[in-house]
Structure 1
């Protein structure tokens, strides 16, 4: 539908049993409407398409308001379509004992501060296809982070306009857009108490980004690269772009230190391309060495060949490793969190009205890569957020099957220039580098924040 029409206005009935949209026909330049209701699996599906088109969105809206009245009055919450064969994916119905449930799952499933996230995740899960058959169990237990990342990617790819092929068990996502296939395997950076260290100063972050974080990212990426049954050798994958999608969940935020996902991306760039900004660390101050190039004033680059932290040493430049030419790109985000689902759920009207969310962080403000801080109220009229705001695709300059940028128009892109060893970025407007969200709930004239 995204190729033929654009959604311009959205509506819902008071009980949320029906949704409707006004659409703009890109070919003919006129407007129409579509009314949706839940099927037996609780997935919103088409009930009615307007039988005529209109010269303006206002005219289409007026016709929609009349057309939706019978659905508002029929008292029906489900409209079976007759083809629902798979059971409802009720992601919050407990399938394991309380003592085996992940702590984050427990909070997400019961805390009023997380109602917007909980409701949105459930809505997404209704249409998610559980190919392996163990999604719910893992989401509720030890695989919470990995499964949340997969759910985020599912929404992202849907928003990018991809078609899904659920007939193949691997990789995690078999996608196509404009008839062009691309395959994605999801992976996460997990915790290792015997190795992990926190960081709470710029100097510590700079130090850990040079060796510690490349090793943290390198472990899961290298494991996928050296998998016995190579993804790129699978008949349906061979000859097409193959992407590894990675998210860092290893360092939890505390009252004293930020979570690792707020600062770890520099370590990924270092590991993938074998280059990093040459920085000067003086006490707690960190500043880059600068040089003049044909592009203007730029940070000086330092080439890295290996990373050592503690008793571990790994080679750098992942994209230059044997077989890595079969990995077309590495897709990265630090935003696949419960808090992100909470903000997006609140925007969609799925949360409690008295729950406030205040977001602050750093984003890229222009095409030159200038960064600036931001602070905003998620309830403000001008607040806007897209699923691709935190996502960057790091392209492999030596890939056998490169990923065309146009397949992913709503995320940021980066690639190494092998001649200069500079990483060149193409950012989306207001690409978010890092952010934190304070959630405030009034309770007995007091507030709770997170």
Structure 2
């Protein structure tokens, strides 16, 4: 019995992505922070639960998750959870691309992330991180540059046999998609999907209103994107190097915070930890041209309104790709495609559609009261005299 118990314990530890597998000095700072923090209890339990049915093809997931591959592995695990929610079992028999599905509308997905510039140290203390960047336009320019860098890195990649992802035998003829998550700085999750669309399609829509109050749209062509002394061409989808890129799957939400929120709604978190989620979302009101604020305390919403792993994903379809992608290959999420007259059309599902968000944790006996107060203050529902 003792031997069996020891074997079961060892097997459990092998599947525990938070059990140290590398020396502490080599651990990623974010991994070190969340592996023992009380406020991340729900995230740890849910991430381990998802990893329990995740096939680790190259046997490197845990080591990379604990070290310099932390952000890409978090994003990869969250994408796997999304596919699982949709009833899709991806082929994980090959190390690359990360996911290949064989449904009625197949797709091959390679996962990547925007990463901090070399030499820039991440700041992990929430008390030191302002809610918004000091210069949002500059932050948006940096985001587009990091997005382009991450996508080009995957398009240029070749394996030991000098094959691109779409040239591998098990991928040929299957639409190829790069999934990119925003992780390049502490405000990465604030950048909205329209910036991705502008870079991929090479034009932006400027919204206005006519004399009757109806929305008007003026299209502006974009040739290049500038950031500091760097310049990259716009319209990646139109460029020759993207001929085999069928689409881009983007997220600014699939982070540890998402695992923490969903895990908390499952009841995996301590009773004295409360999470308050704040952000902006799509406004379905007629002629609305601005996002609307939202704020809620995780666990307060009705069961049918609770978050899932499809939330925050957006699919951009390349109309010029050699292999066409059906939006049904990645169901349940918004997608962008090109209309007959060259306009970019967004197809948005009904219901709550967040554009960006931040999650703030409160701990202690009155954590939930503080979180609800913070929520109301953010939404402007508390008079200034009571702040």
Distance 1:276 1:195 in 2: 31
Q: Is the 8 A contact 2:332 2:349 kept in 1?
A: no
CA deviation vs aligned residue, 1:49-69 (integer Å, no higher than 9, x gap): xxxxxxxxxxxxxxxxxxxxx
Query: Residue in 2 aligned with 1:205?
Result: 136
Structure with greater contact order relative to length (CA < 8 Å, sep ≥ 6): 2
Residues 189-228 of structure 1: pairs in structure 2 closer than 5 A: 189-192=114-117, 204-206=135-137, 208-209=139-140, 211-228=141-158
Q: Encode CA deviations 1:311-344: one digit per residue, 9 max, x unaligned.
A: 3221111101114131111001111111110111
Q: Does the 8 Å contact 2:193/2:314 carry over to 1?
A: no
Q: CA RMSD in A?
A: 3.2
Number of residue equivalences: 348
SS at match of 1:148: helix
1:124-163 alignment runs, 5 A limit: 124-163=50-89
Change (3 A) 1:424 1:368: farther
Q: CA deviation at 1:448?
A: 9.4
Alignment equivalent of 1:440, drawn from 349, 362, 381: 362
How far does residue 357 in structure 1 lie from its aligned partner after superposition?
1.6
Q: Once superposed, which parts of structure 1, at least 4 consecutive aligned residues long, lie more than 6 Å away?
A: 194-203, 444-450
CA distance in 1, matches of 2:33, 2:138: 34
Please list, as runs of the form range in 1=range in 2, the aligned pairs for 1:234-249 lying within 5 A after superposition: 234-249=168-183
Q: 3-state DSSP class of the match of 1:127?
A: coil
Instruction: State which structure, 1 or 2, has the greater radius of gyration over its C-alpha atoms.
Output: 1
Deviation at 1:88, TM superposition (A): 4.1
- Deviation string 1:245-273 (CA, Å, 9 cap, x unpaired) is 00110121xxxxxx122125333222111
Q: Higher strand proportion, which one?
A: 1
Structure 1 CA distance for aligned equivalents of residues 49 and 166 of structure 2: 33
How far residue 417 of structure 1 moved from its aligned partner, in angstroms, is 3.3
Is 1:319 aligned with 2:237? yes
Structure 2: segments with no counterpart, 5+ residues:
123-128, 375-387
- Aligned residue in 1 for 2:30: 104
Instruction: Assess, with a 3 A threshold, how the Cα gap between structure 1 residues 131 and 369 changes in structure 2: closer, same or farther.
Output: farther
Map of 1:376 onto structure 2: 296
Paired position in structure 1 for 2:331: 409
User: Deviation of residue 131 (structure 1)?
Assistant: 1.0
| Shift of residue 376, structure 1, vs aligned partner | 1.5
Distance of 2:278 and 2:331 partners within structure 1: 25
TM-score between both structures, scaled by the size of structure 2:
0.81
CA contact (8 A) 1:102 1:141 kept: yes
Structure 1 unaligned blocks of 5 or more: 1-39, 41-77, 79-84, 253-258, 279-287
C-alpha separation in 1, matches of 2:184 and 2:327: 29
- Residue deviations 1:394-414, cap 9 Å, x none? 111112222222233311111
The equivalent residue for 1:364 is 282
Shift of 1:153: 0.5
In structure 2, C-alpha distance between the alignment counterparts of 1:299 and 1:199, rounded to whole Å: 33
Mapped contact 1:442–1:448 kept (Cα < 8 A)? no
Where do 1:284-303 residues align within 5 Å?
Answer: 288-289=207-208, 297-303=215-221
With over 3 angstroms needed to count, the CA separation of the structure-2 counterparts of 1:354 and 1:200, relative to structure 1, is: closer
Greater share of helix: 2
Distance 2:85 2:227 in 1: 39
